[in-house]
Amino acid sequence: MQQIDFTLRGEFIPLDSLLKATGAAPSGAIAKMMVAEGRVRVDGQDELRKTAKIRAGQVVQFSAGAQGLRIRVLAATDPAAA
């Protein structure tokens, strides 16, 4: 499973926007479809809300067949983000 860190610029980012911004989905429509199909988990729990507010410290996982992506969301002030 590939892991990437995403540095948050504000208080939160909608889930579908995060998937698009990280390249997990090529478009917002595809991101929404992925969430609706139940292929996305937030902090280990299935997430079906397309615009769920994702905040610093949360982990989003997406699986596509044998491949997967783990996105760790960091605050802009988080030392790990530097």
Q: 57-78, pLDDT tens digit by residue?
A: 999 998 866 678 999 999 987 5
Q: What pLDDT sits at residue 57?
A: 96
Q: 13-37, pLDDT tens digit by residue?
A: 999 999 999 999 999 999 999 999 9
Q: What is the pTM of this model?
A: 0.87
Contacts of 8 (CB under 8 A, 6+ apart): 55, 56, 73, 74, 75, 76
Contacts of 19 (CB under 8 A, 6+ apart): 25, 31, 34, 35, 40, 60, 62
For each of the domains in the chain, give its residue range(s) and CATH number, in order of start. Answer: 2-81 (3.10.290.10)
